[in-house]
Amino acid sequence: MGKIKNIPSITDDPQLNIRRSDIEQRAEWFFFQNDEAAKRGLDWEEWCRPAIRRVGHLRGEESLNAAVQDRSDLQQILNMFRNNTLGTRTFEKEYVKDTPEEIIIDHHYCPLVAGWQKCTDDEELIAKCCDIAMEGDRGIFDLVEGADFYLDSTIAEGAPVCRLRLKKRG
């Protein structure tokens, strides 16, 4: 058995299970498309990172425009995530730190990792897929003014949680 521990604690919610299954399928598409590219000698990471970051920018603009009036206010950013209760439950998020200077969100489960685990047992490749997929989050957080984004740990690397941190500069 590998080092990745990715076991959901919420399993009895049909809507949540459908959502997780949809996210797993996205991970499987990502994996097999890129596996086919690699078989053809293509460097799929070269285009995946910027493409997924662009998706993060697109989705971030939509989310921030709908929920945030001041993109430098970390409390508004955190509330945007908290108010998405399905997203919170999907990834079993825990809001660890909540100050005007810094927010920390732990994700205790990842359906993307679950999808990749169905495709391969190569945990280094799963960690690479995860880091590339995180370009979407990086793209969202690019749009937060005056703060830096940190990915402190990931389930795909064997940590107990994916820890996302947003910290004010200065």
Q: What is the mean pLDDT of residues 148-161?
A: 98
How confident is residue 1, by pLDDT bands cut at 50, 70 and 90?
A: low
Beta strands in the chain (DSSP E): 93-98, 102-107, 147-153, 162-168
On average, the pLDDT of the chain sits at 97
Say whether 123 sits in a helix, a strand or coil. helix
pLDDT of 44-79, one tens digit each? 999 999 999 999 999 999 999 999 999 999 999 999
The reported pLDDT for the residue numbered 2 is 84
- pTM of the predicted model, to two decimals? 0.95
pLDDT of 119-151, one tens digit each? 999 999 999 999 999 999 999 999 999 999 999
Q: Of the candidates 130, 141, 117, 165, which has an alpha carbon nearest to the alpha carbon of residue 57?
A: 141
For the chain, domains (ranges, CATH) are 14-168 (3.30.1380.20)
* Strand ordering across the sheet containing 102-107: 93-98, 102-107, 162-168, 147-153
The structure tokens listed for 143 are: 């749009």
pLDDT > 70 fraction of the chain, expressed in percent and rounded: 99
